[in-house]
Amino acid sequence: MMTFLHRKYGIEAFDYRRGKSAILVAAGTGLMLSIMDQCVPIRWCLDVDTLTVEQKARLPSWLQCVGNVTQFVAVAGWFSSTNPKPLAEAVSALRPTKVVCYVQFHGVGADPFLNLRTANTLAEFLEQVKER
């Protein structure tokens, strides 16, 4: 399934070959790896900070397909200097029941994750993921 989506959209998630059919989409490799260490239910992960401009343009379509074929999508990130809008727009296209979201936004302008969060702290996020 993820191999097909990689070929179609050119976005490849890393496969931990464990857990449920769930994916973590993170902004920041350090945060992503820390969450993967704590959340065995998640099988795949992707750091959106490593995507090219072209891949970011395909992110909403890719993530919508991923959301349709996985049990849930976990989203985590800290934004202060990078643009959070591409990820927020992609997440907003998903069914809310399929998303667990923890994002801190400390940038300029309106918070694009204001209505997308399911957790306000990392501890809450980790518990929500583990309860799935």
pLDDT tens track for 58-114: 999 999 999 999 999 999 998 766 778 888 999 999 999 999 999 998 877 888 998
Domain ranges for the chain: 2-131
pLDDT at 121: 95
- 115 sits in which H/E element: none
Q: Is 48 in contact with 59 (CB distance < 8 Å)?
A: yes
CB-based contact 39:16 (threshold 8 Å): no
Our CA angle for 13, 9, 32, nearest 5°, is: 25
Query: What's the pLDDT tens digit per position in 8-47?
Result: 999 999 999 997 899 999 998 999 999 999 999 899 999 9
Under DSSP, the state recorded for 43 is -
Gap between the Cα atoms of 65 and 61, Å rounded: 6
Residue with tokens 């069914």: 95
| 31, 78 contact by CB (below 8 A) | yes
The CATH number of the structural domain formed by 2-131 is 3.40.50.261
> Does the global pTM surpass 0.75?
yes
